[in-house]
Homo-oligomer: A and B are copies of this chain.
Amino acid sequence: MPRIMNNPDDIVDEMLNGFLKAHADIVEATDNKRVVKAKNIPADKVGVVTGGGSGHKPAFIGYVGKNLCDAAAVGEICSSPTAAAFLDSFKAADQGQGVACLYGNYSGDNMNVKMAVKMAKKQGITVKTVVANDDVASAPKEQCEKRRGVAGEVLMWKVGGAKAAKGGNLDEVIAAAQKAIDNTRSVGIGLAPCTLPAVGHPNFEIKPGTMEVGIGHHGEPGIAVCKLENAAEMAKRMVDVVVPDYPFEAGDEVVALVSGLGATPVMELYVLYDEIECLLKEKGIHVYRPYVGNYFTSMEMMGATLTLMKLDDELKELIDTPANSMGLKQN
Contact = CB atoms under 8 A, between A and B. Distances in A.
B18 A277 contact: yes
A230 B302 contact: no
30 contacts: A2-B192, A2-B228, A2-B303, A3-B264, A4-B191, A4-B271, A4-B304, A5-B231, A5-B268, A14-B270, A14-B271, A14-B274, A17-B270, A17-B274, A18-B270, A21-B277, A22-B273, A22-B290, A22-B292, A55-B265, A55-B267, A57-B265, A263-B263, A263-B300, A265-B297, A265-B299, A267-B299, A293-B326, A324-B331, A331-B331
A191 B2 CA distance: 6
B55 A15 contact: no
A123 interface: no
Chain A contact-residue range equals: 35 or more
Tell me how many chains of this kind the complex includes. 2
Interface string A10-44: 01001111110110000000000000000000000
A273 B18 contact: yes
Nearest to A330: B329
A143 interface: no
Interface of A: 2-6, 11, 14-19, 21-22, 54-55, 57-58, 191-192, 208-209, 211, 228, 230-232, 234, 262-275, 277, 287, 290-294, 297, 299-300, 302-304, 324, 326, 329-331
Contacts of A329: 329-331
A106 B262 CA distance: 29
Contacts of A14: 231, 270-271, 274-275
A18 B265 contact: no
Contacts of A230: 5-6
A25 to B, nearest CB: 9
B211 A290 contact: no
B268 A3 contact: yes
A64 B274 CA distance: 20
A156 B267 CA distance: 23
Q: Which 7 A-B pairs have CB atoms at the shortest separation, nearest pair first?
A: A18-B270, A263-B263, A18-B274, A2-B191, A329-B329, A4-B268, A22-B292
A269 B208 contact: no
